[in-house]
């Protein structure tokens, strides 16, 4: 089985396994106690904190261990907002942040705060000047991921951090995807990360709060981890997380070069091997092992199942893989195709032969899924020089398939009106027009669902 979903969780690094087993023997006692076993546990905890702080580029007393990366995000955002309550009740996030950040923003908004979402370019990156323009006198906190978890695009953290520093606003960076590759650039104020993203054990997160940042922990707390992460520390897992972070950093330079070559091969070859594919994300400013593409006329869930049958574990941001049928907020913010979406995220040590086999298998898998789906004969009628396609009740990618089948039957300059009640159509039809060189004229209310207007221009 070829595991290509390291952006979700990287396989446990051998160093993490060794450290975990050793710490189970020596790190079981309470590090807050003064007897011998407690002192031994405290030494392990302090050493892990120092190693993690060195990797992050902060002081050891600025870093605490949490029960997960998500918990680190929630604690970091709520604590920073509470600490700067007198400044104002305004929070800035990018439109493509991890759900943990967006969920925190939703809670803040429900409690009376104001949230600004900064849009992104089609590559998935924010514009630093646009982000800076969102800063206000009452902005309490700004949040920006170091790199996107779905498409791999690296964000301009240093430039945004400079603007935030000039405005006197702390910047929280979600570094979950990038910390294993190197330190986060820029003069940020808070940082979060998650050990299972770099090959450490699950259940360990990092929260860094720079000295001088006003911070007030919300909810019940205790004396552990500077009062910012309550409960008995999972010391064996913490030791393993710090050890694996140091280990992957030692390998990062050479491995990044190798994985960039493999993902560049995927980015170049997939559009050549498979028709009607859009490769998304920034081609240059990106994480070493992540490449994402979307296939027209493909059910994303079926595609992932078929790839799994062929021995490949990949993930997707396609709306077709969600029980809610809601498109990925990242792909939606980018304005790219969501249907048939595949994210390949190569783990450290991924074999070149596995990548070549993936490229060999993919065309047949996509073709098979398209054939199984078929393209049902659309219920079409011409009214006032507009071809109406009734795709009500049909889920992705059927509305786009039906649009593609009939666009050639209308004259150049003619219109197709697609009726759909699938939320994914709001994203996929404009994306299809962008890919196929047709003009998307917008949407309008219909008796049922929504009508999407497309003008044939070629």
Q: Which residues are catalytic?
A: 320
H-helix or E-strand containing 420?
strand 415-420
Q: Which residue has the tokens 């990092």?
A: 206
Name, in order, each residue with C-beta under 8 angstroms of 303's C-beta and a sequence gap of 6 or more: 295, 316, 318, 340, 342, 365, 366, 369
Question: What DSSP line would sit under 161-192, residue for residue?
Answer: HHHHHHHT--EEEE-TTTTTT-PPPS--SEEE
Two tokens, residue 307: 């790839």
Closest C-alpha to 348, from 294, 288, 303, 396: 288
Whole-angstrom Cα distance, residue 430 to residue 285? 25
Whole-angstrom Cα distance, residue 114 to residue 106? 10
% helix, strand, coil for the chain, step of 5: 40, 20, 40
Strands 171-174 and 190-194: parallel
Which residue intervals of 274-299 are DSSP H helices? none
Contact 316, 341 (CB under 8 A): yes
Whole-angstrom Cα distance, residue 276 to residue 271? 7
Two tokens, residue 68: 């997960």
416 forms beta bridges with 387, 454
Contact 61, 52 (CB under 8 A): no
Quick check: helix, strand or coil at residue 427? helix
Two tokens, residue 164: 């935030």
Q: How many CB atoms lie within 10 A of CB 61?
A: 11
For residue 156, give Cα distances in angstroms to 148, 197, 302.
Answer: 11, 21, 35
Q: Which residue has the tokens 């302090």?
A: 46
Question: What is the rounded end-to-end Cα distance, in angstroms, of the chain?
Answer: 44
Contact 391, 426 (CB under 8 A): no
Q: How many CB atoms lie within 10 A of CB 329?
A: 17
Whole-angstrom Cα distance, residue 232 to residue 8? 26
Whole-angstrom Cα distance, residue 276 to residue 432? 9
Whole-angstrom Cα distance, residue 429 to residue 437? 12
């Amino acid at each position: 089985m070829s595991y290509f979903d390291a952006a979700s969780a990287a396989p446990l690094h051998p160093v993490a396994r060794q450290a975990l087993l050793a710490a189970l023997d020596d790190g079981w006692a309470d590090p807050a106690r003064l007897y011998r076993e407690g002192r031994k546990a405290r030494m392990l905890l302090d050493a892990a904190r120092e190693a993690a702080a060195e990797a992050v580029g902060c002081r050891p007393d600025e870093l605490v261990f949490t029960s997960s990366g998500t918990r680190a995000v929630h604690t970091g955002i709520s604590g920073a907002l509470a600490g700067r309550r007198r400044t104002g009740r305004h929070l800035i996030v990018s439109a493509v942040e991890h759900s943990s950040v967006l969920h925190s923003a939703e809670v803040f908004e429900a409690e009376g705060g104001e949230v600004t979402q900064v849009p992104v370019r089609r590559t998935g990156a924010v514009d630093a000047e646009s982000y800076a323009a969102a800063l206000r006198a009452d902005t309490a906190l700004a949040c920006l991921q170091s790199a996107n978890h779905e498409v791999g695009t690296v964000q301009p953290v240093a430039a945004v951090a400079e603007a935030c520093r000039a405005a006197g606003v702390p910047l929280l960076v979600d570094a979950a995807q990038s910390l294993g590759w190197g330190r986060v650039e820029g003069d940020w104020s808070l940082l979060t990360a998650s050990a299972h993203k770099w090959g450490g054990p699950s259940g360990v997160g990092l929260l860094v709060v720079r000295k001088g940042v006003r911070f007030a922990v919300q909810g019940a707390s205790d004396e552990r981890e500077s009062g910012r992460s309550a409960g008995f520390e999972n010391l064996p897992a913490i030791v393993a997380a710090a050890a694996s972070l140091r280990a992957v950093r030692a390998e990062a330079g050479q491995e990044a070069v190798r994985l960039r070559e493999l993902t560049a091969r995927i980015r170049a070859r997939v559009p050549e091997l498979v028709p009607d594919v859009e490769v998304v994300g920034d081609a240059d400013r990106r994480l070493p092992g992540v490449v994402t593409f979307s296939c027209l006329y493909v059910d994303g869930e079926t595609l992932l199942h078929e790839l799994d049958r062929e021995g490949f574990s990949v993930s997707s941001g396609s709306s077709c893989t969600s029980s809610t049928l809601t498109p990925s907020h990242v792909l939606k913010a980018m304005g790219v195709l969501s249907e048939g979406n595949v994210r390949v995220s190569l783990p450290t040590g991924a074999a070149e032969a596995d990548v070549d086999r993936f490229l060999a298998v993919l065309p047949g898998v996509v073709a098979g899924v398209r054939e199984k789906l078929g393209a049902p004969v659309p219920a079409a009628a011409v009214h006032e020089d507009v071809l109406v396609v009734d795709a009500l009740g049909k889920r992705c990618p059927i509305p786009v398939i039906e649009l593609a089948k009939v666009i050639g039957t209308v004259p150049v300059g003619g219109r197709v009106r697609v009726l759909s009640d699938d939320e994914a159509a709001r994203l996929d039809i404009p994306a299809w027009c962008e890919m196929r060189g047709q003009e998307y004229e917008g949407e309008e209310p219909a008796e049922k669902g929504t009508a999407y207007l497309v003008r044939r221009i070629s």
